[in-house]
Amino acid sequence: MVENDHHLATMLTAVKRIEADLEAHHPKALLLFGSLARHLAGEPGDHLPNDVDLLVVTNNTPFLVMKKDYGTAVELHSFPVARIVGIAKSLRYDSRPVALSKLYGRVLAKAHAIDVIAAAMMLGPAYGDVGIEQIEINGIIDTRDYSIHRVLMGGGWWERLCRYAAERRGPLMRFTDKLVRNYDFEE
């Protein structure tokens, strides 16, 4: 048990150090997700967290932070602002089949489900209502809730983006929103 406590303490220390290191990059948001976020939220899991999963939204890609050793396994995904806003815009305006094909097409192209996970975090626990299906690992459905996350930086910005993405307008409203200049997400 003491070893598990030390492992969790090391991961939490790494998160604090990463937060401090990322301040110079002026991120719009920094999100903790994955097994550590679920563990901190009290979500029962079949094992303790084994790494730190972070998503940073910034136009200043933090290459040095991404390569730094924090004493534990860290998976840091950097999204330019336009990419994450594009996902939100797709969830808001594209038909469900188009939005889903964009999300899952990136999974195939990048061999990682980070865009799907980002969409799930934006939409919250009801992400299945949009048609986002559970991710499969080695052909087995992963039943973990991918919407669970913690906002470490940029809470107000992230909250506004989530509200924007969750308000389904559909393809027909895209045109009228463009006419009244209500189409773009206000950063």
In a domain, 171, yes or no: no
Spell out the residues 6+ positions from residue 90 whose beta carbon is closer than 8 angstroms to its own: 98, 99, 102, 103
Sheet with 149-153, strands from edge to edge, namely 74-79, 52-57, 29-33, 149-153
Q: What's the structural domain count of the chain? A: 1
3-state secondary structure 25-60: HCCCEEEEEHHHHHHHCCCCCCCCCCCEEEEEECCC
CA atoms within 13 A on the CB side of 102: 16
pTM over 0.85: yes
Report pLDDT digits (tens) over 22-61.
Answer: 999 999 999 999 999 999 998 877 678 989 999 999 999 8
In a domain, 40, yes or no: yes
CA dist 103 → 56, 80, 110, 117 (Å): 18, 16, 11, 9
In a domain, 175, yes or no: no
CATH number at 78 reads: 3.30.460
Q: What is the pLDDT of residue 154?
A: 97
In a domain, 138, yes or no: yes
Write down the residue that tokens 């509200």 correspond to. Answer: 163
Average pLDDT, the chain: 89
Q: What is the pLDDT of residue 10?
A: 94
Spell out the residues 6+ positions from residue 55 whose beta carbon is closer than 8 angstroms to its own: 29, 30, 31, 33, 76, 77, 79, 114, 117, 118, 121
Its sign, for the CA torsion 38, 103, 110, 70, is negative
In a domain, 174, yes or no: no
Full residue range of the structural domain in which residue 61 is found: 2-86+113-156
In a domain, 182, yes or no: no
In a domain, 185, yes or no: no
Q: Which amino acid is present at 120?
A: A
Report pLDDT digits (tens) over 78-87.
Answer: 999 999 999 9
Radius of gyration of the chain from its Cα atoms, rounded to whole angstroms:
17
In a domain, 22, yes or no: yes
